[in-house]
Amino acid sequence: MNFELQSMDLVAVADEKCDALLVLVPKAFKAAKDDLSQLVGVALKAGDLEASVGKTVSLYRPLQAAAVRVVLCSVGEGTARQVRTAVLAAIGACKSPGLKKVVLCFAAPATQDAVRAAVVALADATYSYTTTKSKPQPRSLQKALIAAGNASDLRDSFNRAVAIVAGVELAKEWANRPANHATPTLLAGAAKALASHPKISCEVLGPREVAKLSMGAFLAVAQGSDEALRFVVLRYNGAAKTKAPTVIVGKGITFDSGGISIKPAAEMDEMKFDMSGAASVLGTFKALALLKPAINVVGLIPACENLINGRAVKPGDVVTSMSGQTIEILNTDAEGRLVLCDALTYAERFKPLAVIDIATLTGACVVALGAVRSGMFSDNEPLAQALSAAGERAQDTCWRLPLDEDYVEGLKSNFADVANIGGRAGGAITAAKFLQRFTEKFPWAHLDIAGSAWKSGASKGATGRPVGLLVEYLLAQSTSK
């Protein structure tokens, strides 16, 4: 979909030919003398357009505009959250197979956060997955014109939003693919494709190279599958080589059966989404390629399947991680932390400014936070605050959970340095405490996206989170240095 931003008021957009004109109306709207403004004013005065956020009035071929359909939608005070709600409601009121061009107009000056929210919401509402369908129904919307009287003040935010949309949709594409269409090798191929962009390079390591690195925890998870593991190293070089990078690490379990600690059959198909952390790394690099910030970023993706064969790791097995620490695997379904711990140790070689890992790690985080916020853990206060602020800007929110040392007790083992699970109580926290053991040499944060990475039910599909949060965080670092 092509996005465009133009400086236009209601007089100008009334003459714009399109399939749908979406007019975002704030509480403080004052009608001017032009026909479209008067129409909005009458709808407000009559109570047909209620002031509540997301309330709409739909019109077909009104005389006041050249659009086929006009949807008036209330946005309250026009905050980013309110604009997102309104855009989703407005596009829902005019969806049709023939919807190819939309004009989305702010009836009053918009904020930077509001225009970002509008672009992302419009893309989200019209996204369509097609890759594995014999009769695909691709997104019909081809062009979206964002109109605002103060467009010149919104250009940077608009460009950022368009790049985030590109990243989110790449993340959705790979997370939505069935596991047989998103093997570790295919996922690595998607990473290699990103290296066609300037400033991005990609290296892919196979089983032999990973074994030489002594990544025993990663190898243990992968050994139960006939699909070969891949360890992806992406690099975005936007600054001097001497400038330390930020490292983002995405869990890339392309299908998770649970291993010998096998999962229940119900909804196991959703375990194709267990590589959503890896998909978010791909999406973030896509956005970086478009925005070209003056920073250095490394993306690490340990990719494999967690399946069951005669070589599969068994409960009670002890493996040695790249760090030299030994791990007793009490539950083979706690595999994400095993692939991540070796990737975190690998990250040390980059002498990073910070390391952020992203993983669909625990059902416990879903219980704690549902699908609204991602779980965030960090022992570094500035990093935690920066991630929280980035999530708020992106409307891709997270919530900080504790890392008290008392939680370590559950991870003790009689047969290794540490166990890979700590019991049901506080499961998201004990998982984070396990990862923390491998992060002593750099500032670190962990994002548990088990609840936010995808939706179930009738709207089943990947959300592309937390690409927005990551991009906002990285761009903030580029402007603060």
Longest CA–CA separation in the chain, Å: 80
Rounded Cα distance between 294 and 51, Å, is: 43
Task: Check pLDDT > 70 for residue 236.
Answer: yes
Rounded Cα distance between 151 and 139, Å, is: 26
* 3-state SS class at 180: helix
Task: Check pLDDT > 70 for residue 397.
Answer: yes
The average confidence (pLDDT) of the chain is 96
Task: Check pLDDT > 60 for residue 481.
Answer: no
Taking residues 427-448, report their average pLDDT: 98
* 3-state SS class at 375: strand
Give DSSP secondary structure letters for 12-26.
HHTT---SEEEEEE-
E strands, 282-344, where?
296-306, 317-320, 326-329
Q: Domain 2-151 belongs to what topology?
A: Leucine Aminopeptidase, subunit E; domain 1 (3.40.220)
Residue found by looking up tokens 């004013």 in the block: 41
Phi, psi at 359, each rounded to 5°? -155, 140
Task: Check pLDDT > 80 for residue 479.
Answer: no
Task: Check pLDDT > 60 for residue 142.
Answer: yes
Q: Kindly report, residue by residue over 87-123, the tens digit of the pLDDT.
A: 999 999 987 778 999 999 999 999 999 999 999 999 9
**Quick one: CA torsion of 24, 28, 34, 37, rounded to 10 degrees?**
40
Cα end-to-end distance, the chain, whole Å? 34
Residue found by looking up tokens 């910070």 in the block: 354
**Which one, of 356, 369, 361, lies nearest residue 470 by Cα?**
356
pTM of the model: 0.97
Whole-number pLDDT of residue 423 = 86
Domain with CATH 3.40.630.10 in the chain: 167-480
Taking residues 408-426, report their average pLDDT: 95
Q: Could you say which DSSP state residue 470 is in?
A: H
Angle between helices 155-176 and 184-194 (to 10 degrees): 160
Domain with CATH 3.40.220.10 in the chain: 2-151
Rounded Cα distance between 264 and 39, Å, is: 56
β partners of residue 301: 232
Q: How many residues does the chain have?
A: 481
Counts for the chain of helices (H) and strands (E), in that order:
14, 20
Rounded Cα distance between 293 and 477, Å, is: 10
Whole-number pLDDT of residue 97 = 78
- Please, which pLDDT band fits residue 281 given cuts at 50, 70 and 90? very high
Whole-number pLDDT of residue 480 = 63
Whole-number pLDDT of residue 336 = 98
Taking residues 69-84, report their average pLDDT: 96
What's the one-letter identity of residue 138? Answer: P
Residue found by looking up tokens 């997955």 in the block: 129
Q: Kindly report, residue by residue over 152-184, the tens digit of the pLDDT.
A: 999 999 999 999 999 999 999 999 999 999 999
Answer for the pair 218, 231: CB distance below 8 angstroms, yes or no.
yes
Taking residues 221-236, report their average pLDDT: 98
CATH 3.30.750.24 fits 167-480, yes or no: no
β partners of residue 426: none
- Please, which pLDDT band fits residue 272 given cuts at 50, 70 and 90? very high
Exposure class string for 65-98: b at 16+ Cβ within 10 A, else e: bbbbbbbbbbbbebbbebbbbbbbbbbebbeeee
Catalytic residues: 263, 337
Rounded Cα distance between 454 and 450, Å, is: 8
pLDDT above 70 covers what percent of the chain? 99
Taking residues 45-57, report their average pLDDT: 95
Whole-number pLDDT of residue 477 = 87
Task: Check pLDDT > 70 for residue 269.
Answer: yes
For residue 118, the number of C-alpha atoms closer than 13 Å in the C-beta half-sphere is: 32
Answer for the pair 470, 299: CB distance below 8 angstroms, yes or no.
no
Task: Check pLDDT > 80 for residue 147.
Answer: yes
